[in-house]
Structure 1
Amino acid sequence: MIQDYFRKDLSDFESYNAGKIDYKVRLNANESFNNLGATTRKKLGRVIEDSIYNRYPDVESRNVCNLYAKYAKIENVNIMAGNGSDECIQIIAHTFLNNGDKVAMQSPDFSMYGLYTKVAGGIPIEFPLDEKLELDVEGFISMANKKEVKIVYLSNPNNPTGNIITRENIIKIIEGCKCIVVIDEAYFEFYGKTIVDKINTYDNLIVLRTCSKIGLAAIRLGFLITNKTLMEELKKVKPPYNVNSITQSIASVIFLEPELIHKNVEQILIERSYLWEKLSKIEGIKLYKSKSNFILVEVPNAKKTKERLIDQSINVRSFSTGKLENCLRITIGSREENNCLLKNITLDN
């Protein structure tokens, strides 16, 4: 049987299912509600038209890395581009993990940390957040060292809670954990604080960034930022030509005009405040404070609430088990989308 050639350790895996996308209101994927403006799209059209299609892309994505380094206030030797930050997570796993190595992460947190750990032959160790969905920092450090983990992954702000770990506590974790520490700053723009300035202070620190939350989800571009020693090791595993020429060209245009990003983020933050205020007035909803482009809410019956929203062609993120079983993660939408959600978010016990 052909199944005899399959990996036994992946027998219980399910393929990642992002779900269908043909909803009238899409508030489930933490995308930006703003598309690029007409003037910018025309610039991109000219760039795409002038692209060289018969040659491989720049293997190191040098231009876009240089521009992002300036945007992130780092040196260009400290940055690597990836096909989304997902690929950066995969590169980290395949660079450092041997079969049976342990990796620590919060629970809940971004699911791809555990998935890529397993695919690389590692063992994910989940550390549950407390009842307030906050991290016991000292307990986490103790667990990581006791279990002798090789990598720690922490999204900050956290996905899906929207909560943050303070800079002081991030530094405690970097200094206290005897392993590589990966801080995923996918939602940095909505929080405004970073640990990227410490990449050369700590030899065990890696920072991840993405363009997917700031209006460029379609081009699949992420960045890995770290010191020279770790970077040289990671480059051994990075696939050649991993970021295509069109993505590089589009991103280069955008990062030449970072004010486009700042304006987009500002509009999202305005809508986050609006949605928070309106949701807080609905009896029966518990809100968790968010420093991201989404809000996590707890409702009496999340399954029924989501079904009712789906019936109105509104999609939000739901969770089937654990602390978030009765929670919905609602991406910040446009004013029209947010009002549509508010009109239809009737609660059931």
Structure 2
Amino acid sequence: MIKNFFREDLKDFKPYDAEKNEYRIRMDANESYLHFPDELKEKLLEAVKDFALNRYPDPTASDVCRAYADYAKVDFNSLMAGNGSDELIQITSNAFINDGDKVMILSPDFSMYNIYIKLAGGIPIVFDLDEDFKLNAEELIDNVNREEVKLLFISNPNNPTGGVISRETIIKIIEGCNCIVVIDEAYYEFYGKTVIDLIDKYENLIVLRTCSKAMGLAALRVGFLASNKILLNELRKAKPPYNLNAVTQTIAEVVLRETEIINSNIKAILEEREFLLQGLKEIENIKIYPTNSNFVTIKVNDAEKVNKKFLEEGIKVRSFKAGRLKNCLRITVGSRAENEEFLKVLRRV
């Protein structure tokens, strides 16, 4: 039987299910609701109109890395570009994990960490946040060192809670853990605090970033990894040679140079987040978790019932049915009209 050739350790493995269904209002995937102005669209068309589609792309994505280095105020030589930060999580896992190696992840946290760890042959060790999704850093450090884990993944701000760990606490974790520490700053722009400036100070630090959220380039799939030369040398061993296509590199470089548009979009999203939060605070029987991201996570009495009503209205939010997030809904910040429509339906429910 063909199943005899399958990996035994993946027998009960469930692939990540990214829905493709169309909805009237999409507030489930933490994308930007904003579109680029026509002038920028013209620049993008001009940049790609004479493209040499018969040639392989720059394997190091040097031009777009230089653009991101200027944007993020880091050394160009400290960066690696990836096909979304998801690929950079996979590259990190493949570069450092041997079969049976332990890797620490938080619960709740970004679900793709668990998937890539298992695909690399690693063993995920879960450390639970408390009931309010806060982290006990001392206990985490003790667990990391006692379990002798090789990697620690932390998203900051956290996805899916929106909560954050202070810079001081992150530094304490980096210094206290005898492992490689990966800080995933996918939602950095909505928080404003980072440890990317410490990548050369700490030999065990990797920082991840993405252009899918604040920059509005989710369709392109482009992310960046920042670290020191020693770790980057190992990471390059696991990176495919042409992992970021030429069209993506070109478009992303143009957009990254448009800092005024990026900053204006971030400001608009933060204003809409505040509007959404104020509206949620006026509704009874829900718990709102503090957020420093472009989404808000709430807890209701019966998330399945509430989500069913949203789907009937053509509104898609992220609904959690089990585990630490049971009865929670994660709502991506939308436009003013989308936020108003969401709040109107939630009030009725």
Please indicate, yes or no, whether the TM-score normalized by the shorter chain is above 0.5: yes
- Cα distance in 1, alignment partners of residues 31 and 191 from structure 2: 16
- 2:247 alignment partner in structure 1: 246
- Cα distance in 1, alignment partners of residues 2 and 234 from structure 2: 36
- 1:156 alignment partner in structure 2: 156
Matched, 1:25 2:36: no
- 2:177 alignment partner in structure 1: 177
- Cα distance in 2, alignment partners of residues 146 and 318 from structure 1: 35
1:56-205 to 2 correspondences below 5 Å:
56-205=56-205
- Cα distance in 1, alignment partners of residues 269 and 30 from structure 2: 11
- Cα distance in 2, alignment partners of residues 189 and 84 from structure 1: 16
Q: List 4+ stretches of structure 1 deviating above 2 A.
A: none
- Cα distance in 2, alignment partners of residues 218 and 323 from structure 1: 30
* Paired positions, count: 348
Residue pair 1:299, 1:347 contacting (<8 A) in 2 also: no
- 1:51 alignment partner in structure 2: 51
Aligned CA RMSD, in angstroms, stands at: 0.9
Residue pair 1:305, 1:347 contacting (<8 A) in 2 also: no
| Runs of at least 5 residues in structure 1 that lack an aligned partner in the other structure | none
Q: 2:12 is matched by which residue type in structure 1?
A: D
Matched, 1:290 2:291: yes
Partner SS, residue 219 of structure 2: helix
Task: Report Cα offsets for 1:16-53 as digits up to 9, x if no partner.
Answer: 11113410100000000001111111111111212110
Q: 1:20 is matched by which residue type in structure 2?
A: K
In the superposition, the TM-score normalised over structure 1's length comes to 0.98
- 1:232 alignment partner in structure 2: 233
Q: 1:250 is matched by which residue type in structure 2?
A: I
- Cα distance in 2, alignment partners of residues 240 and 133 from structure 1: 39
Partner SS, residue 193 of structure 2: coil
Q: 1:226 is matched by which residue type in structure 2?
A: S
Residue pair 1:300, 1:347 contacting (<8 A) in 2 also: no
- 1:223 alignment partner in structure 2: 224
Partner SS, residue 219 of structure 1: coil
Residue pair 1:275, 1:332 contacting (<8 A) in 2 also: yes
User: What displacement does 1:236 show?
Assistant: 1.1
Percent identity between the two aligned chains: 54
Residue pair 1:145, 1:177 contacting (<8 A) in 2 also: yes
- Cα distance in 2, alignment partners of residues 289 and 13 from structure 1: 32
Moved more, 233-242 or 338-347: 338-347
User: What displacement does 1:262 show?
Assistant: 0.7
- Cα distance in 1, alignment partners of residues 347 and 6 from structure 2: 46
Residue pair 1:31, 1:331 contacting (<8 A) in 2 also: yes
- 1:256 alignment partner in structure 2: 257
- 1:271 alignment partner in structure 2: 272
| Runs of at least 5 residues in structure 2 that lack an aligned partner in the other structure | none
Residue pair 1:27, 1:316 contacting (<8 A) in 2 also: yes
